[in-house]
């Protein structure tokens, strides 16, 4: 079973590493949402910039499930979407997708879809592999069948290694060196919105730098010239019944 592929952006494969349009930068954030995410979108608002957030639906380390109505996460995700940011998938529990079998891989993606559907009524067509890639042929084939654009990056800020007031300067130095001062480059930048000093220092500095150099920060979909109606798919596709049974859906998602 293969879901429909629409538009000109490639599905599956080794992934997408750069934007199409010179002068546009796609800032991307993995692993959230978390308590620092709102600070990041507030900073983006100051410049009227947009970003893409790859959402982990059930982050066991952070102790939260994104569609839990007793938490702040559903409202935050809706606010991120309302402000024009793109939401993609980063899997359900952040598994190495090439270390699990086909059934578990599909669950990792479809469970996250169901949680995002519960919150937003949307299912993303863009994803980022936990722990990066490229991955095995089986992973590539499964993501292609599920109808996902696989987003990699051209600039890794390594903010996950530099989460302190002093060390975060190293991440900014990586960004500064990678991004052309002429304003004519085209980049996909990897960051993490679960890191305090990414929100407090790295993001404000990157945004100021982009503005000074004449760049526009946009979503991944926009920087690939993909119409916004292709960033998500119909959450009620009947084909999904073949992936996860109704009994399993009811067991995992009490809100369904």
β-sheet bridge partners, residue 86: 52
Task: Read off the DSSP letter of residue 93.
Answer: S
What are the E-state strand segments in 110-220? Answer: 123-124, 126-127, 149-151, 155-156, 186-192, 216-217
- How far apart CA 153 and CA 16 sit, in angstroms, is 7
Catalytic annotation, pick one of 142, 192, 193, 240: 192
Could you tell me if 149 and 126 are in contact, meaning their C-beta atoms sit under 8 angstroms apart? yes
Tell me if residue 192 is catalytic: yes
Tell me if residue 90 is catalytic: no
Enter the tokens of residue 194: 């679960």
Could you tell me if 79 and 44 are in contact, meaning their C-beta atoms sit under 8 angstroms apart? no
- How far apart CA 106 and CA 174 sit, in angstroms, is 35
Residues annotated as part of the active site: 30, 192
């Amino acid at each position: 079973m293969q879901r429909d592929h629409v538009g000109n952006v490639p599905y599956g494969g080794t992934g997408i590493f750069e934007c199409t349009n010179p002068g546009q930068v796609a800032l991307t954030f993995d692993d959230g949402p978390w308590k620092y995410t709102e600070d990041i979108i507030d900073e983006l608002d100051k410049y009227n910039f947009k970003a893409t957030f790859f959402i982990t639906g059930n982050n066991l380390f952070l102790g939260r499930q994104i569609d839990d109505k007793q938490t702040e996460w559903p409202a935050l995700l809706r606010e991120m979407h309302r402000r024009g940011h793109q939401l993609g998938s980063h899997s359900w529990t952040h598994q190495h997708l090439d270390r699990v079998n086909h059934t578990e891989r599909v669950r990792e993606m479809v469970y996250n879809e169901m949680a995002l559907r519960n919150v937003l009524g949307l299912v993303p067509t863009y994803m980022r592999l936990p722990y990066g890639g490229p991955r095995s042929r089986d992973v590539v084939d499964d993501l292609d069948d599920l109808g996902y654009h696989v987003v990699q990056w051209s600039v890794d800020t390594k903010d996950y290694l530099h989460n302190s007031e002093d060390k975060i300067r190293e991440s900014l130095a990586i960004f500064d060196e990678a991004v052309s001062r002429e304003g004519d480059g085209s980049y996909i930048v990897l960051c993490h919105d679960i890191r305090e000093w990414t929100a407090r220092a790295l993001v404000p500095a990157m945004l100021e730098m982009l503005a000074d150099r004449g760049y526009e920060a946009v979503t991944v979909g926009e920087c690939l010239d993909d119409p916004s109606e292709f960033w998500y798919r119909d959450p009620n596709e009947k084909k999904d019944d073949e992936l996860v049974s109704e009994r399993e859906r009811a067991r995992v998602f009490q809100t369904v």
